[in-house]
Structure 1
Amino acid sequence: MADRVLVLGSGGREHALAWKLAHSPHVKQVLVAPGNAGTANSGKISNSAVLISNPTILAQFCKDHNIGLVIAGPEALLAAGIVDGLKAAGIKCFGPTAKAAQLGTNRSFAKTFLDHYGIPTARWKAFTNPQEACTFITSADFPALVVKSSGLGPQKEAILASSIEESCKAVQEILQGNIFGDTRETAIIEERLTGEEFSCLCFVDGVAFATMPPIQVQKQLLDGDQGPSTIGMGAYGPVSQISEVLLEKIKGTLLQHILNSMKQEGISYAGILQIDLILTKDSVKVLSFNSHFGDPQCQVVLPLLKSDLYEVIQDTINGRLHDSTLVWSEDYTAVSVVMASEGYPECYSEGKEITGLLQAKELGLEVFHGATTIKDNKVVINGSRVLTVTAVKSDLISALEAAYKGLAAIYFPGAIYRKDVGYRAMRFFTQSVYKFADSIDYSVLFHPPKLLSASGSKSGSSKQQGGSPGLFDLRTSGYSDPILVSQTKGIGTKLKVAQLCNKHDKVGQDLVAMCVNDLLCQGAEPLFFLDYCICGKLDGEVAQTITDGIAEACVLAGCTRLGRDTNEMVGLCPPGEYSLVGFAVGAVERGMKLPQKERIVDGDVLIGIASSGLHTQGFNLVRKIILTSSLHYFSPVSNGCGAQALGEQLLTPSKIYSKALLPVLRSGNVNAFIHIAEGGLLGRFPQILPAQFSAILDARNWKIPGIFSWLQKEGGLSEREMAQTLNCGIGAVLVVQKELARKVLKDVKKYEDAWLIGKVVRRLAGYPHVEIRNLLEVLLQNRSPFPQSVSDGDSLFQAIHTKRKVKVAVLLSGTESASCAQVVLVIANRSGVEELKTASRAGIPTRVIDHKLYGSRSEYDGTIDTVLEEFSIELICLAGFVRVLSNNFLKKWNGKILSTYPSLSSLTKGSNTYKQALPAADKVVGCTVHFVLENTSLEAVIVQESASVEAEDTEETLSEKIKEAEDRAFPVALQLVASGMVQLGADGKTCWKREHRPLISQNERKHCSSSHTLQ
């Protein structure tokens, strides 16, 4: 049953929380107490007048109104013990207890905690006597220019003094004045640090934590960081100045240390923990804690969250964060700018009308209300922090432009907001080491090819390098005693195949993978990458495709692309050809370097990690095999290699293992990492293993892709030729202690397919370093016939090419084979099904929308439709989804819903067609993939796939054959529709692109085909 949720508070943070919770299908209603104009009667969201300062009244209200969850916004409520009181009354409440919340509500407690557990922070001292405080400020051996009150009050912000006199004055005001109220009795004097400040927010369940993207807040009231301090006038995230390398270090060391220290302190912390950090020239230090979402951090980070906030909160409360995967909007930036009223932060006005809110919303922005109320049907000011305007775009500049357009549309008298939010990041961009001079060698990367001749380029000339030298600050990567590791690699003759197939988008990944995977052999984390391209007369689009591919691969590898160079040398390269060289540098702490040969012993276990295909090995041999084969690069492979042209199969990019395997390598449980590259599966073991040991592998223990069986058959290759030339399905090998093998395997399988493939044994005289058993046997067994129906039409799949992947959602009710499609969202009508777990492990957002919670089919479908719109879904795949969809839903998504039918004809009704096939004379069963219409017929068929009926078949075996047919057919149908090759016509019939129809049907027709069976 869907929950009612009560959010306590009235600011922009609470509006953002209510807005995000309202997106959840698990939430029926969001009440906000006392709320503001933005939370008053807005869809699922409405305000409540319940008295939130009295826990007894609040608890009774929750029981009377069936409130399933309470979320406390302001820290003052947490400090007052609102969570303790509600939990004692049996009300589920999200947030830390009063004792745990002291980290954020009591600065003296927090600073003492940091010092006690050796957590880096600014030097400090607490005072209750103003004269003693001023004496300390004057005599301190550090700039004692940050003054804070210890507890909560009307204003929580620190005072950043510019001089000793100003610092002493601030202490006097805290301890004797009234600017912070009469409860301020202790002043904290801190060292003023210089560096990059940012906030790291986490969900914490008492045992585990899940981090959010880093956020940077600009706290001074005026542009250029001038004026009095506030809690924040603007924010943006993720913070580009903080590298992913450093963030991982912060998570694995600092955050984990803080969590462990809280346990030692006897604090069971469950809720939001916001840690404000500063990156100084020496290290990362903790500035302060908040025991809730900060404002405006909340308004920035929640729009970036793709996961269901309600589900994440429930997992946090129930201690299940270790099973929860948070999904964030990748490659997007959020910017929030606060609009305050005149006189802020000391005073404010009330009652002035706010206009332009609708215009800002129409620009696609989120406007989160703070100090607003409704009076005489008008939205008016009701305090100091009035509004927060948030924009989410693909880059910071676009987000800033959008946000400021919204701010320009909104008006109220005396409005104050900063005009330079994000300036630190912009300054970082302009100082970035990723610069290039105006050299013609780089012109192909930035301009259309027609500009080359105008630039004055001369064939055969070698130009000087066009970029500025790349700089990399090792200090910011978080290493204390690093060893640098470097590698230089090319791709080899795989480039020849890419150029012949005119497919250049993934060669960059091969280049990066060859370098960074080799760094892992030393246990090193890739830091930065550089590349060099030498070419004949190169097409500008090809150059851009290559450089985009390298940039994307660097993101996958978690390293910075620090520089590049491109030179036209027609004398060395024929026109249209090119060669690539990559250079990577990584780092490893001195004591963590691999391999640890002295730890390798008899009985150590070998864990094999799956390759994606050939990677870059053996292409000289592969090209010779194809020259003598009856197939060419555009032919579909017919021996179980999948529904792709041969060239596409061969060009599958190498896997990059760094992000997945670095945590495993750093765990100390791995003795060696072997990257399978030159020399095939046999080549690297002698370099890693001590001379007295050998490796024994059994090919029956891992899955060998069909492409290797095809190459072995076509080339007539021996077992040894296969093993010393190709990777045979294994891209990397870990050597681990026998007792730790299962644990390490489990860790690896969270990210990659992996198997226990062999062991280390003591080597006998005259025996090889590596022995692979049963390889030829497995290769021969792997030659299962590839279904003809999917492989017909020689050039069909080579002709399909989409530059942008279509976003697909899968709707399921239970376990069905059709869920093999690559998706961005999985929706189920019941929880606990395996596909939801699989999707979560793969980082794919999931939603459970239980039909039992809705009064009508249209209401249920409307909720599904809202979620689909949220994720910008373009196609829907029904995977065993048994709910009947309403006509309105089908009309809206007409031609966008695909499903399977377990039959090849309309004569067989129902889902259990295999039962009817047994007694019948039919020798073939199969499935049909079709568009879902109000009245679906065979005229809406996309693809059909058959399976033969044998005399010994049972209901179970036929059912399995039909599911296997679905596994083969559904991805093909999805690709056809996503690429635009197939679409639904206005007459409800399947229409094919005219130029490709002969590949499917032998008979040319004048009108769109009513059905297509790929036989």
Structure 2
Amino acid sequence: MRVLVIGSGGREHALAWKLAQSPRLERLFVAPGNGGTVAIAENVPIAPSDIPALRLFAQKEHIDLTVVGPEAPLVAGLVDDFAAAGLRAFGPVASAARLEGSKAFAKRFAQEEGIPTAVGATFRDYEAALAYLREQEGPPVIKASGLAAGKGVTVCATREEAEAVLHRLMVERALGPAGAEVVIEERLEGEEVSLLAFCDGRTVVPMLPARDYKRLADGDRGPNTGGMGGYAPSPYLPPEVQEEAMARILRPAVEGMRRRGTPYVGVLYAGLMLTPHGPRLLEFNCRFGDPEAQVLLPLLESDLLEILLACVEGRLEEVEVRWKQAAAACVVLAAPGYPGSYLTGEEIEGIEEAARLPEVTLFHAGTRKENGRFLTTGGRVLAVTALSSDIAQARRRAYEAVRRIRFPGMHYRRDIGEGLRSQPRAEKRPAGAYAAAGVDIAAGNRAVELMREAVARTYTPAVLAGLGAFGGLFSLKAWGRADRPILVASTDGVGTKTLLAAALGRYESIGHDIVNHCVNDILVQGARPLFFLDYIAFGQLRPEQAAAIVAGCAEACRAVGAALLGGETAEMPGVYRPGAFDLVGTMVGWVEEGETLPRRDIRPGDVCLGLPSSGLHTNGYSLARRALAGLPWETVLPELGRPLGDVLLTPHRAYLNEIEVLWAAGVRILAMAHITGGGFPENIPRVLPEGLGVHLDGSSWEVPAIFRLIQRRGRVSEEEMYRVFNMGIGLVLLLSPEEAERACRLLPEARPIGQVVWWDGKAPRVRITGVQP
């Protein structure tokens, strides 16, 4: 095969180096390449940004596969351009690459898909961003939304630094258009891990967990860089935590992209923070990391070319991805001045001597070869990678090689892979007499302590008393956002979805379910959330489980701006069997007097607009469990593309962000119906005036595969499916035809699914035709 690698850094050298080992490779090109790639491939003097020239070259040289290294060409649409010309390229299309190209999009996407991430907000207006920043309790993380070569994220140490960063990005435009929009989010604490995965649009196969070092200097000091080194595998991400990250972050991301009609093909890179409440997403990248590639690819035992082809051809599940039983460490050598302006043209000495050391590989980045000498051409010059049986020995080998390399002003971190710790084990506590009788007070107290921080993070100045008080206190005066507020309250539960969560031992997403369900229930009355209360009852209380559920509730509350004001955690051994639990929540919100929904002027001809669901949401699980009985939860069915348990546990989607977009644009919504238990026939009529019904076109949206699987295995009639499940539409909006057109322009995923009609009181009030079984 003839292969073209695009890029000029250490990552691209590592890709070329690994691809060159494939027996299927016939000829290898790198555009533009560097002083290291010239030894294993043909360098082509075409910039990664020159997509037309790259396409012409690929056509002329009959390239079978193009492998894109850097993110910029992917975001710019190289894969789309090549596909239109009948050329195959490994990497996501531009619409999927937005996960890296726009941090604002990625933040909204994570919130919509229930992916655990830091709470934050997105801004285009400097004054609004500054006001939000000054409301935050501690120094935040500030991210330029656009591409910034790995240098657009600042972890601020003080409020003053945060304000200076904000001014530099939005006013001074230090990063140009990349900083025109910013994301301000909470600062998470814990160990950082990079988890990359191969993706073919459905199947997601993880690589080894890795760690990179972004800061310039030892001890994580100094400015952010593109990466100063790393190691793999990370001991901080054991298999069970990695599976949690796959189930809650990477697979939902790929599934969310597929559901949006933009299947994700390529490498999906999740930067994670391992918090006390589980892994949290820091950011998505749409390609191999640099320097993660330089530690992962030397550990890959399988043929990289075979894997990339399988991704592009949609058959990744057929390929076995194998890894060496070893560890790798990488140290990046940088030019003086990096990551600012740096010197180039300096001679590099000792490369051959370092490369002769056992298990050492040098990946060139900012180098060129001239008259037999290697010269510096970039900020990051070389990546020195070494392998061994463990990370400690691998780092010793890497630094031994580093000591043999010299160029003027060379600098590097000396703490790569230093001081790795084992994960702490929880201490066992003796049970008291009351615990022996079935109720453990100590466990209850521990549960409260574990959840205290997560709950407190949802508080605003309007919260006067919360966790620990007999009742929560919320000051409408301190809140002060409405002249004549009407309070709207809703209570609901998540039903037997709790049984699935308990069976899989995954509790946090269920907290998102109950909050988002209640948010939607008040939203359809025109209300925004104020505060939330939870009730959790266990057969046997396990503090970590209770804390995980409440942490999920708190995370979901923060995402919608609600305070988790209080709740009840009960242990009821005579009512629930051990391992079982129930979860109920109450959301209280507000709407300005005169703005409640539904409105009275709904009339025939008004449009029914549907917003997609993320799955079953929180209804129909008793029927689903019966229909799917006998299928292990880890089963990966072809039509689903990921484990059955993951699909069923996908969190209930909240629609507040989408409706806020419409309200901000002045779109006049007549009514909204949350499609929950009772499906379309019982929920839409709740918002219709007398004498009106709706006619829905069942062919106007694609019913997700999980519903057809339940219908087929459970032998459920079409009528009952639409009465029990949401069938892929979680929220229905009623709007005039003109306003529906505006809404569709503002929300690309919204689709017209029917219209309001006269109803004679005899025929079904909700008529669904055109259903495709």
TM-score normalised by L of structure 2: 0.55
Paired residue type of 2:342: Y
Matches for 1:115-194 after TM superposition, within 5 Å: 115-140=111-136, 142-153=137-148, 156-194=151-189
Higher relative contact order (CA 8 A, sep 6+): 2
| 2:194 pairs with 1:199 | yes
Q: Equivalent residue for 1:100? A: 96
Contact 1:393 1:399 in 2 (8 A): yes
Match of 1:590 among 579, 588, 592: 579
Contact 1:144 1:189 in 2 (8 A): no
Contact 2:144 2:178 in 1 (8 A): no
**d(CA) in 1 for partners of 2:343, 2:625:** 73
| 2:417 pairs with 1:428 | no
Q: CA shift at 1:319, angstroms?
A: 0.4
Runs (5+) with no aligned partner, structure 1 = 435-472, 476-521, 526-587, 593-598, 608-662, 669-738, 741-1015
Q: Equivalent residue for 1:875? A: none
Q: Equivalent residue for 2:496? A: none
Contact 1:153 1:181 in 2 (8 A): no
1:111-151 CA-to-partner distances (Å, cap 9, x unmatched) read 011112221111112223333322211112x4342111110
Q: CA shift at 1:155, angstroms?
A: 5.1
Q: CA shift at 1:360, angstroms?
A: 1.2
Matches for 1:749-760 after TM superposition, within 5 Å: none
Matches for 1:223-302 after TM superposition, within 5 Å: 223-302=218-297
1:219-249 CA-to-partner distances (Å, cap 9, x unmatched) read 1111111111113211111110222111122
Instruction: Identify if the C-alpha distance between structure 1 residues 8 and 219 changes in structure 2 by more than 3 Å, giving closer, same or farther.
Output: same
Q: CA shift at 1:90, angstroms?
A: 1.2
**d(CA) in 1 for partners of 2:99, 2:332:** 26
Q: CA shift at 1:474, angstroms?
A: 12
**Equivalent residue of 2:151, what SS?**
coil
Q: CA shift at 1:262, angstroms?
A: 1.7
Q: CA shift at 1:81, angstroms?
A: 0.8
**d(CA) in 2 for partners of 1:363, 1:420:** 21
Match of 1:346 among 335, 340, 346: 340
Match of 2:304 among 280, 302, 309: 309
Match of 1:396 among 385, 391, 399: 391
1:881-923 CA-to-partner distances (Å, cap 9, x unmatched) read xxxxxxxxxxxxxxxxxxxxxxxxxxxxxxxxxxxxxxxxxxx
Contact 1:334 1:396 in 2 (8 A): yes
Q: Equivalent residue for 1:948? A: none
1:700-732 CA-to-partner distances (Å, cap 9, x unmatched) read xxxxxxxxxxxxxxxxxxxxxxxxxxxxxxxxx
1:849-898 CA-to-partner distances (Å, cap 9, x unmatched) read xxxxxxxxxxxxxxxxxxxxxxxxxxxxxxxxxxxxxxxxxxxxxxxxxx
| 2:65 pairs with 1:69 | yes
Q: CA shift at 1:664, angstroms?
A: 10
**d(CA) in 1 for partners of 2:376, 2:355:** 18
**d(CA) in 2 for partners of 1:664, 1:178:** 46
State the identity %. 38
**d(CA) in 2 for partners of 1:372, 1:103:** 30
Match of 1:25 among 11, 23, 42: 23
**Equivalent residue of 2:81, what SS?**
helix
| 2:72 pairs with 1:79 | no
Runs (5+) with no aligned partner, structure 2 = 427-445, 449-501, 506-576, 582-623, 633-642, 649-711, 714-773
Q: Equivalent residue for 2:108? A: 112
Match of 2:51 among 51, 55, 75: 55
Instruction: Identify if the C-alpha distance between structure 1 residues 274 and 665 changes in structure 2 by more than 3 Å, giving closer, same or farther.
Output: closer
Could you list the structure 1 runs, at least 4 aligned residues long, displaced by more than 4 angstroms after superposition: 431-434, 522-525, 604-607, 663-668
Contact 2:49 2:72 in 1 (8 A): no
**d(CA) in 1 for partners of 2:76, 2:393:** 42
**d(CA) in 1 for partners of 2:355, 2:447:** 43
Matches for 1:605-624 after TM superposition, within 5 Å: none
Q: CA shift at 1:589, angstroms?
A: 9.8
Match of 1:215 among 201, 207, 210: 210
Q: Equivalent residue for 1:321? A: 316
Paired residue type of 1:381: T
TM-score normalised by L of structure 1: 0.43
Contact 1:334 1:399 in 2 (8 A): yes
Paired residue type of 1:343: G
Contact 2:357 2:401 in 1 (8 A): yes
1:421-471 CA-to-partner distances (Å, cap 9, x unmatched) read 113xx3414x7669xxxxxxxxxxxxxxxxxxxxxxxxxxxxxxxxxxxxx
Paired residue type of 2:271: D
Contact 2:329 2:385 in 1 (8 A): yes
Matches for 1:327-338 after TM superposition, within 5 Å: 327-330=322-325, 332-338=326-332
**Equivalent residue of 1:259, what SS?**
helix
**d(CA) in 2 for partners of 1:17, 1:221:** 24
Larger radius of gyration: 1
Contact 2:194 2:269 in 1 (8 A): yes
Q: CA shift at 1:57, angstroms?
A: 2.6
Q: CA shift at 1:667, angstroms?
A: 11
Q: Equivalent residue for 1:378? A: 373
Q: CA shift at 1:605, angstroms?
A: 9.8
Q: Equivalent residue for 1:359? A: 353
Contact 2:249 2:281 in 1 (8 A): no
**d(CA) in 1 for partners of 2:580, 2:329:** 41
**Equivalent residue of 1:15, what SS?**
helix
Q: Equivalent residue for 1:405? A: 400
1:369-406 CA-to-partner distances (Å, cap 9, x unmatched) read 00111223210110101110111110111101000001
Matches for 1:275-674 after TM superposition, within 5 Å: 275-330=270-325, 332-364=326-358, 365-423=360-418, 426-429=419-422, 590-591=579-580
**Equivalent residue of 1:261, what SS?**
helix
**Equivalent residue of 1:170, what SS?**
helix
1:525-551 CA-to-partner distances (Å, cap 9, x unmatched) read 9xxxxxxxxxxxxxxxxxxxxxxxxxx
Paired residue type of 2:265: A
Q: CA shift at 1:157, angstroms?
A: 3.6
Instruction: Identify if the C-alpha distance between structure 1 residues 192 and 664 changes in structure 2 by more than 3 Å, giving closer, same or farther.
Output: closer
Instruction: Identify if the C-alpha distance between structure 1 residues 605 and 159 changes in structure 2 by more than 3 Å, giving closer, same or farther.
Output: closer
Paired residue type of 1:130: Y
**Equivalent residue of 1:347, what SS?**
coil
Q: CA shift at 1:182, angstroms?
A: 4.9
Matches for 1:892-971 after TM superposition, within 5 Å: none
Paired residue type of 1:134: L
**Equivalent residue of 1:428, what SS?**
coil
Q: CA shift at 1:255, angstroms?
A: 2.3
Matches for 1:782-861 after TM superposition, within 5 Å: none
Contact 2:195 2:206 in 1 (8 A): yes
**d(CA) in 1 for partners of 2:241, 2:107:** 24
**d(CA) in 2 for partners of 1:600, 1:92:** 41
Q: CA shift at 1:606, angstroms?
A: 14
Report the number of matched residues. Answer: 459
Instruction: Identify if the C-alpha distance between structure 1 residues 234 and 135 changes in structure 2 by more than 3 Å, giving closer, same or farther.
Output: same
**d(CA) in 1 for partners of 2:172, 2:51:** 32
Instruction: Identify if the C-alpha distance between structure 1 residues 345 and 242 changes in structure 2 by more than 3 Å, giving closer, same or farther.
Output: same
Q: CA shift at 1:89, angstroms?
A: 0.9
Contact 2:218 2:415 in 1 (8 A): yes
Contact 2:347 2:374 in 1 (8 A): yes
Paired residue type of 1:71: V
Matches for 1:965-984 after TM superposition, within 5 Å: none
Q: CA shift at 1:99, angstroms?
A: 0.7
